[in-house]
A and B are shown apart, each in its own frame.
Chain A
């Protein structure tokens, strides 16, 4: 399967703990996006990369959130000192530069985070 993969698929943690999620994009895609989705809502943009450069980070994003994309391949999203409000589905997507910013993005299955 050459689609976008995310790991883990589910994560349960206690409040105050740090968590890290991984995303492996489609290999030829140079853009990678992170979104957060809560139940009944549309995905909320967090950040995106073009190759290894983080081009944009939502101003609504807490400084407890950080993302990296070393070498422009896979990406990690870390949440420090988790709070119950961080409970959500974290979605990763990738696209090629030619598809445009809001053009076709390919989404992974998501990582569901539950903070107790």
Chain B
């Protein structure tokens, strides 16, 4: 199966911009790359999805290069409540269709 990689953890201060990159190979050429946020004892929550180039919504931006071998989630001006684990999700076509989550990046926002 394809492998996705993310930094294990990141620290930031309130008000800073945070960028988290996920590397992914062998992903489906015609499907989204999606990012989720997860708090302890809760299911993941959708943040943003994109296919290529740049996507922005009210909470984040997503940058995807042309080769789609990576994606970068950008969180502007983080607050303490953004402390959570962030996952990328991609569709991999290998021995069938597999929805592959990255290992997760634990973001700690400090005051």
Contact = CB atoms under 8 A, between A and B. Distances in A.
Interface residues of A, number: 28
Given A101-B28, A102-B34, A41 B104 contact: yes
Contact of A55 (B44, B46, B97): B97
Interface stretch (A67-75, A79-87, A103-111): A103-111
A58 interface: yes
Interface string B3-45: 0000000000000000000000000100111101000011111
A93 interface: yes
Contacts of A101: 28, 31-32, 91, 97, 99
Contact of B103 (A42, A91, A102): A42
A75 to B, nearest CB: 15
Interface string B66-82: 00000000000000000
B49 A42 contact: no
A102 B45 contact: no
A33 B36 CA distance: 15
Interface residues of B, number: 27
B87 A42 contact: yes
B111 interface: no
A45 B99 contact: yes
Contacts of A108: 43
Contacts of A59: 95-96
Given A42-B101, A105-B46, A110-B43, 14 more contacts: A33-B99, A41-B103, A56-B96, A58-B98, A91-B43, A101-B99, A102-B33, A102-B89, A103-B31, A104-B46, A105-B44, A107-B45, A108-B43, A110-B42
Contacts of A109: 41-43
B98 A42 contact: no
Contacts of B36: 107
B64 interface: no
Interface in B79-111: 87, 89-91, 95-104
